[in-house]
Structure 1
C-alpha cells in the first residue's frame, strides 16, 4: 500500500511552467481518484528558478491545493535549486513520518535520472514504484499512466554528474549536534600514529538514532552510503587522514583478520597494516572498537569485538597477525579499548554468560539470573594478558582512569555515543581508527 506520492514537476517544459497551478490540480485530482488509500502524503518537487520568485510561486499553487480537503496537511510543495536538494528534503519529511512505500509520478524522460538519485539517496528500507506523467495532446494538462518504457542505463558521464551534484549538496549542509569530536589515547604515541575514536556529533545524519556522525550504512537502516561518506569526509578533514585510503573491517562477529596488501577476505573483524598513510578502522555501537599500535615495528591494527568476537578471541587474533606478518614483539604492542557497552548495562542469556564465566568469573554479575550482566571489556583484557600483552600496555579507562577519557559506556551516554542495545535496530555507529604517519 502506497504511503506517499512524489510528483516530480522539477523539469517541466517551459510551455507548461506557467500553467503549473492547473497541472498540479489535475494531477492531484487523479491521485485522489486512483489512490489505494484515502489520503496518502503527497510531495511535489518544483524547480526554484530564482529566490525572488519563490513566495509568488508558492502562492500561485495555493488555489490548486484548496480543493483537496482530504490532502489537507498531507501535501507539501518543495522548491529547490537542484534535484538532489529537493529529493533529500523530501526524504527528511518521509523519515519524520517513518514512511517507506513511495510512488513517484514523473515525466518519462526523467525516469532513468530519478532512478540514479533514488539509488544514491535511499536504502533498501524504502520501496519505490513509478508512474509516467504525460503531457496531454492539448499541452495544457498532465495525465498519469502506467510506465511505457523500459529502464535504460544512463551514460557514465550523466551518473558522475548526478553523484557530483549530490556530493556538493551534502557538503553544503550544516553539521548537527555540535562540533565533530575525536577522543584520543595518551598511550598511543602521536609522533608515530594518527588515531582516534569518534563520537556522535558533527555529522549530517538527521534521523534521531543515527544523528549525527553515523559512520556505517546498511540495507536495514535509513542512512544512505552517500551520507556516511560525507560524515567520513568531515572526520578525515578534522583528523587529518585521507578518506580515499580508508579501510573499515567487514564485520562478521568472528575472528578473521585482514592483512592490508594481501587478498581481502569476504568478511573479517580484525585488520592490520604497516603501510604509511593507510587508515584502518573498526566500528562499534556497543561492541568494542579496539586499536593496536607497535611503535617499535611501526605497525598497527584495529578490531571489532562484540560478545561473539570476544569469545572467539578476535583481539589476540589481531595481535598474532601483527606478530606473524610484521615481526612485532607482543610485549611492544599497545592496545586501547574504545567506547563500548559496560558491565553496568550489558546482559546476555545464561548460556552465553557461562562462556564468559569460564574466561573469568568476574566477567559475570548475577550469574544465576536468566540474563546476567557481562563485562566484555574485562574478558578482552584477560584474553590479551594471557596472550602476552603487558597489563600496563592495555588502556581500559573503566579500570585505569576514573575520569573516563576514552572507554565510556555507550549505553549510558546517549549524548555522546550510539548504542544498539539502547536504540534498537535503526542504530548509528561510531568507529576507532588508526594509521601510521608518513
Structure 2
C-alpha cells in the first residue's frame, strides 16, 4: 500500500514551465482518480530559482491546488534550489510521519537520475515505485503512464556530480543539539595518541533516536551512509584525524581481532595497529567501546565489547594481538572503557547472568531474579586484570575522581548518549577512536 506520492516537477521541458498551474492540476487530477496511488500524503518537488521573490510555494501554486479536497490536507509543495535540498526535505517529511512506501511520479528522463539521488539519501527501510510523466502528443500537459522504460546506468561523471551536490548540501546543514563534544581520558598520553569518545551532539542526523551525531548506518535504520559520513567528517575535523584513514570494527559480538596491514576478517570486534595516522574505532550504544594504548611500543587498538564479547574475552584478545604482533609488554598497555550501559540499568536473562556470576558474583545484582542486573564493565576489568593488565592502567567507572569519569551510563543520559536498551531498534551509535600521532 503506497503511503506517499512524490511528484518530481524539478526539471520540466521549457514549453511546460509557463503552464505549471495547468500541468500540476492535471497531474493531481490523475492522482485523485487513480485508486492505485490513492494516499493522503502528496509532495510536489519543484525548482526554486536563485533570486526568486516568491513568498510561499503553496500560494504560488494555489490555483492548481484548488478543488482537491481528498488531497488538500496531506499535500505539500517543496521548492528548493537543488534536487538534493528538495529530496532531503521530502525525506524529513516522510520520517516525521514514519512513511516508507513511496510512489515517485516523474519525467521519464529524470528516472535514472532520481534513482541515484534516492540510493544515496535513503536506506533499504524505504520502498520506491516509479510512474512516468510523459508529455501528451500535441499538448502542453503531462500524463501519467504505466510505461517503465529500461533503466540505464548514468555516466560516472554524472554520478560524481550528484555525489558532490549531496556532499555540499549536507556540509551546509547546521549542527543539531549543540556543539560536537569529545570525551577524553587522562590515562592515555596525548603527546603520542589522539583519542576520544563521541557523544550524540554536533551532527546532522535529525530523527529523535538518531539525533544528532549518529556514526553508524545500516539497512534497518533511516540514517543513510552519506549522513553518517558527514557526521564523521565533522568529528574528524574537530578531533584532528583523517576520515579517509579511518577503520571501524565490523561488529560480530565475538572476539576476532583484525591486524591492520594483514588480511581483514569478514567480521571482527577488535582491531590493532602500529601505523601512524591510522584511526581505529569501535562503536557503542550500550556495548563498551574499549581503547588500548601502549606508549612504549607505540601501538594501539579498539574493541567493541557487548555482553557476548565480554564473556568471550574480546578485550584480552585485543591485548594479546598487540603483544604478539608488536612486541608489547602487557604491563605497559593502558585500557580505557568508554560510555556504556551501567549496572544500574542493564539486565540479562538468568541463564546469561550465570556466566557473569562465574566471573565474579559482584558482577551480578539480584542474582536470583528472572532478569538480574549485570555489570559488564566490572567483568571486563576482572578479565583484563587476570590477563596481566595492571589495575592502575585501566580506567572505568571505578575511578576515584568522578570529574575524570568518562564511563557514563548510556541509558541514564539521553541528552548525551545513544542507547539501544533505552531507544529500541532505530537507535544511534557513538564511537571510541584512537590513533598514533605522526
TM-score range, shorter chain: over 0.9
* Matches for 1:114-129 after TM superposition, within 5 Å: 114-129=114-129
- Residues 73-123 of structure 1: CA distance to partner in whole angstroms, max 9, x if unpaired? 201111011001100010000000000000000001000000100000000
Hey, what's the Cα distance between the residues in 2 that align with 1:26 and 1:149? Answer: 22
* Matches for 1:10-409 after TM superposition, within 5 Å: 10-36=10-36, 38-55=38-55, 58-403=58-403, 405-409=405-409
- Runs of 4+ deviating beyond 6 Å: none
* RMSD after superposition: 1.1
- Residues 288-312 of structure 1: CA distance to partner in whole angstroms, max 9, x if unpaired? 0000000000000000000000000
Hey, what's the Cα distance between the residues in 2 that align with 1:203 and 1:104? Answer: 29
- Higher deviation after alignment, 402-411 or 300-309: 402-411
CA shift for structure 1 position 398? 4.2
TM-score (ref. length: structure 2): 0.98
Partner SS state of residue 252, structure 2: coil
Partner SS state of residue 179, structure 2: coil
Hey, what's the Cα distance between the residues in 2 that align with 1:105 and 1:53? Answer: 27
Q: Does the CA contact (< 8 Å) of 1:410 and 1:418 recur in 2? A: yes
Q: Does the CA contact (< 8 Å) of 1:274 and 1:299 recur in 2? A: yes
Q: How many residues align?
A: 438
- Residues 152-189 of structure 1: CA distance to partner in whole angstroms, max 9, x if unpaired? 11111111000000000000000000000000000000
- Residues 206-228 of structure 1: CA distance to partner in whole angstroms, max 9, x if unpaired? 00000000000000000000000
CA shift for structure 1 position 401? 3.6
Q: Does the CA contact (< 8 Å) of 2:186 and 2:404 recur in 1? A: no
Partner SS state of residue 99, structure 1: coil
Q: Does the CA contact (< 8 Å) of 1:194 and 1:435 recur in 2? A: yes
Hey, what's the Cα distance between the residues in 1 that align with 2:430 and 2:44? Answer: 35
Hey, what's the Cα distance between the residues in 1 that align with 2:399 and 2:428? Answer: 26
Partner SS state of residue 27, structure 2: helix
Q: Does the CA contact (< 8 Å) of 2:58 and 2:76 recur in 1? A: no
- Residues 25-73 of structure 1: CA distance to partner in whole angstroms, max 9, x if unpaired? 1111111111336533100110011343433764231121121111122
TM-score (ref. length: structure 1): 0.98
Q: Does the CA contact (< 8 Å) of 1:245 and 1:277 recur in 2? A: yes
Partner SS state of residue 36, structure 1: helix
- Residues 255-296 of structure 1: CA distance to partner in whole angstroms, max 9, x if unpaired? 000000001000100000000000000000000000000000
Hey, what's the Cα distance between the residues in 2 that align with 1:175 and 1:341? Answer: 26
CA shift for structure 1 position 14? 1.4
Hey, what's the Cα distance between the residues in 1 that align with 2:147 and 2:312? Answer: 52
Q: Does the CA contact (< 8 Å) of 1:398 and 1:408 recur in 2? A: no
Q: Does the CA contact (< 8 Å) of 1:112 and 1:152 recur in 2? A: yes
Hey, what's the Cα distance between the residues in 2 that align with 1:254 and 1:426? Answer: 22
- Higher deviation after alignment, 426-435 or 63-72: 63-72
- Residues 377-399 of structure 1: CA distance to partner in whole angstroms, max 9, x if unpaired? 00000000000000000000344
Partner SS state of residue 39, structure 1: coil
Hey, what's the Cα distance between the residues in 1 that align with 2:103 and 2:96? Answer: 18
Task: Structure 2 unaligned segments of length 5 or more: list them.
Answer: none
Change (3 A) 1:109 1:123: same
Partner SS state of residue 55, structure 1: coil
Hey, what's the Cα distance between the residues in 2 that align with 1:150 and 1:323? Answer: 56
Q: Does the CA contact (< 8 Å) of 1:16 and 1:139 recur in 2? A: no
